Structure 1
Amino acid sequence: MSHQTVPIRFRRASTFALGWNNLLLLAAAVMDPIALVLSLWTVAYYTQGKLTPEYLILSLLIFSLTLPGIVRIQIPIWKLATSILISWLVIFALLIAFGYASGYINMFDREAMMIWLWLAPSSQFAVHMLLRSAAPSFANIQGEPKQAVIVGVNEQGLNLAYEIEHNPYSPTQLSGFFDDRIRERIGCLTEYQLLGNIEQLPSYVRLYNIDAIYLSLPMATQPRIMSLLDALNDTTVSIYFVPDMFINNLMQGRIDTVGKVPVVAVCESPFTGLNGMIKRGSDIILSILILLLISPIMIIIALCIMLTSPGAIIFQQRRYGLNGEEILVSKFRSMTVCEDGDTIQQAQKNDNRITPVGAFLRKTSLDELPQFFNVLQGRMSIVGPRPHAVAHNELYRTMIKGYMVRHKVKPGITGWAQINGWRGETDTLDKMKNRIDYDLAYLQNWSLALDLYIIFKTVTVVIKDKHAY
């Protein structure tokens, strides 16, 4: 399992394969926000005859929520339409919920909102199709493709070659590979040309006017890399490092500086700086809105628990939270017992400890609703790795590599693993490993759009899920 399990439409902008020096990508990044804002302005002029302050405020909000836009230029048209529709419905639903909760919705004409509901995604689809037709023009504006070579025939080098060769919008053309091994020893270089050994690279660059070199060499070969860089000092070629598998497996791999010294983030929370503010802000706003909507349901659940079985209504269990510190997580009691010791048995199918009301609550995940108060307290997040009992953590942290990395962030009420089928009992080590892989993939690819998608998807997963009991 790797970050590839996350749909490309929800990855962070920094991971887009086209490269920010590509004009096509820059256009794709701003087209969704611009289409949504222009469609809203069109509706305002059509229904109000002018652009009033409330529409300007809403356009600023929608622009902030959707920038940078989602790159969809390489997906099939039917997937393009589906992706646009789902993303828009999630955003529109959140805007409506916020509008009702704040009373702000009363400032807008109902007819205008209904027109915008269908005009916005139609505008997005139209500009995406326009961009596809204009793609050749963007390529011509950028001039001839850059000629590039890759140094080092290995997994990451071959992955890069595949991306360059199979991306019709790439501004780069691959000439071939350089490697000190002969073709017979390499064995896997079938569709790409082996141009020579590394010592021949500087002369090849000068002779054929190569624009870019991608160094796909292990980090352990630093003296070799430095020697090569010295040999290329008198050329104008652009040189890029392709991180080896060590870097690819990092949770962040983000380059930072301490003073003037560059450092690479090996294991860091994605929720630092502005991302942390966005994550916490969205948690607070969404939790308040959701609690306002579900408060009648929570009162009914509390009464049902109180009337059908003796014991507390709310059950608190110790969990590991941010940085591995213990927190208390709240749930509606669904069992006749409240286990929180050194050994805890996970709920199983036909578990006689589960009450009749509790069975329904667990199946529908309604027992998790009190955790929205944990989110407001700052102990949890709406989306994140699901918290496990402390006893389970102590067991699995010694058995699964990278298990505790998931605790670099706050645990979540729902998560990427849960909407991909890893909800409920994890009765084997392989099942737990799969859940952890998805948790780590979420951390590697977090974005606000991914969080909104997970929240939206959770509702449909809970209705259909057969694994929770």
Structure 2
Amino acid sequence: MKKRTGRYSGYIRPFSYILDLIIINALANHMLWDNFQTWSYHLFITLSWAIIGYNTGFYEVYRYTKVIQIYGKVVKQYFLFIIVNFAYIGYFLKFSSPSQVISFISLSTLLIAAAKIFVYYGLRKFRVLFGGNFRRVVLVGRGKSVAQLAEFFNENPDYGYKLEKVFPMKSNKDIEECFSFVMEQKIDEIYCSMASLNTKDVNKFVDFTDNNLKILKFLPDNKEVIASNYKYDYYGYIPIISLRNIPLDSYLNKFIKRGFDIVFSLIIILGILSWLTPVLALLIKAESRGPVFFKQKRNGLNYDEFYCYKFRSMRLNEIADIHQVSKNDPRITRTGKFIRKTSIDELPQFFNVLLGDMSVVGPRPHMVSHTEMYARRIDKFMVRHFIKPGITGLAQTKGFRGEVESDNDIIYRVKYDIFYLENWSLLLDIKIILLTVVNALRGEEKAY
């Protein structure tokens, strides 16, 4: 099973946020009078700019975004930022002269807009001149919309799409040829004309892309075919449907989740693990030889492998990476039985969270050998790897944790994991954490 091969400009948006906030705070410090030089005002303009930017989609600029749309976002951001600034100033500072504030906001917005346009066109030039930051794509189907999109890809290399092949769907063989080509050539995205596919064909493409971590998008016959939960974009004037809209694809949501993960993991590491680790180390070492911590390779985001850490709960054995723990497993020590029952053995994974391999909440990662097995047997199992794995997850709060006794156990885990990644929110994470604590205190049937 190959990992996802998409190419993303993952650092551009966080860099833009940081650069914009530096510009705003530096100009506020330089251009405004002393009564503005307070930590509360700098905190206000930082938070208000970020919140307004999120609501206006100021940082939602993609390779297919039109320049006129960027200008529209700048104008919206500018006027809303002026409004909230004067609301703050009028209420807290009782300041009556507006010209200096308007000058500060105007210059800040102008510099930020210039930087934004520079990055936008710089990336387009980079794609044309150096062939970097591109995505390899194939088209499936025939007809006017397919021809238009093929022409768009070929005539606009600055958008960063490289059209590798068109499959006209003249027979069922085209589907299998397409799937083989996508895997062999490491294609990133598949674009299908809905006019050329029947329901059965669509399901084949959905299943294939879900199970192989490929991006699937559709060219509709007309706008009426779009369901309300699909994401709808334009490449030039060509409508494109994205099948799955994942909230954690948003950089602000990633930032919020990552910030929460760092804070929460530091609280656990400093507040609990700092004193619990030496206590458990004595108990574990007294009962059986071997290290205090157990590490095992697991598959995470984009199917990448990482070492997952736990307190060792079993005697050293050669099948730890092959066989899951079962009820009354003789490999488990007395201390191990207690820490597994209370889920204390999972606490070292907060180091994985701090390192960025895991999140506090997400799909539970499986050992590598089991991941490969489930990927072959269970439909849509690979969808779980579109987001980081978690110490706990929605499936675990619904009773699907521990030993997999039948395919139904893993099928329901996948269903809950897909629901989570399509409906993520910080409140949902907090709810899952609270339910996990309650379940651990109450005791769970499959916690062994």
Structure 2 length normalisation: TM-score?
0.49
Structure scoring higher RCO (CA < 8 A, sep ≥ 6) equals: 1
